[in-house]
């Protein structure tokens, strides 16, 4: 496996509750294939470091992806997509009112890209807001692609293993 992304948690503008005691997060992926439908530790792994003490840089892995620094931005108005919102609240009034439906789809902000917190970006269907921690988007700059310009979602409830899923465009 290679380190797809490493994140210093103290650099995030918003820290999901499940990461409150974490200093560094490193997401490892299989070097040959993306391990869809595999449990944590089988072809992918999220490693949490409680402290930065004693960490050393990894040697170059020879993987074809290009590393680059992330620039995080605080977002306070991220909203769920239709299917995820439907699981959070009753959308009957919005379904029945054309103006309200228009506002839901065109006036509310939904942020895509690689992000921590907020709501997962829906591509084909609801991604599941429960226990959502972060998502990693496909990225031309780094050369990383989740099979069809998709997005990977990482969820974790307190005291449970990480879960990974992906949607493609």
What does the angle CA 157 – CA 158 – CA 161 come to, to the nearest 5 degrees? Answer: 60
Range(s) of the domain holding residue 24: 2-53+77-167
Residue 130 belongs to some domain of the structure: yes
Residue 142 belongs to some domain of the structure: yes
pTM, rounded to two decimals:
0.91
First to last CA, the chain: 25
pLDDT tens profile 43-53: 999 999 999 99
Residue 41 belongs to some domain of the structure: yes
CA distance 36 to 158: 23
pLDDT tens profile 59-105: 666 667 777 788 899 999 999 999 999 989 999 999 999 999 999 99
Task: Name the CA radius of gyration of the chain, rounded.
Answer: 17
Residue 141 belongs to some domain of the structure: yes
Residue 60 belongs to some domain of the structure: no
CA distance 24 to 121: 24
Note the pLDDT of residue 63: 66
Note the pLDDT of residue 14: 92
Note the pLDDT of residue 8: 95
Note the pLDDT of residue 116: 97
pLDDT tens profile 103-142: 999 999 999 999 999 999 999 899 999 999 999 999 888 8
Residue of higher predicted confidence among 23 and 147: 23
Note the pLDDT of residue 32: 85
Residue 89 belongs to some domain of the structure: yes
CA distance 90 to 40: 33
pLDDT band at 161 (very low <50, low <70, confident <90, very high): very high
User: What is the total count of domains within the chain?
Assistant: 1
Q: What is the mean pLDDT of residues 7-31?
A: 95
């Amino acid at each position: 496996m290679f380190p797809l992304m490493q994140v210093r948690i103290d650099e995030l503008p918003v820290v999901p509750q499940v990461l409150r005691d974490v200093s560094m997060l490193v997401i490892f992926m299989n070097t040959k294939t993306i391990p869809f439908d595999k449990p944590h530790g089988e072809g992918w792994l999220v490693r949490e470091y409680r402290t930065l003490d004693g960490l050393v840089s990894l040697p170059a892995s020879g993987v074809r992806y290009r590393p680059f620094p992330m620039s995080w931005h605080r977002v306070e108005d991220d909203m769920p997509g239709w299917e995820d919102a439907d699981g959070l609240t009753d959308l009957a009034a919005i379904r029945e009112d054309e103006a309200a439906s228009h506002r839901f789809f065109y006036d509310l902000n939904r942020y895509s890209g690689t992000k921590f917190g907020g709501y997962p970006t829906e591509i084909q269907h609801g991604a599941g807001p429960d226990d959502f921690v972060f998502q990693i988007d496909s990225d031309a700059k780094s050369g990383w692609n989740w099979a069809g310009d998709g997005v990977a979602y990482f969820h974790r409830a307190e005291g449970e293993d990480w879960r990974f899923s992906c949607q493609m465009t």
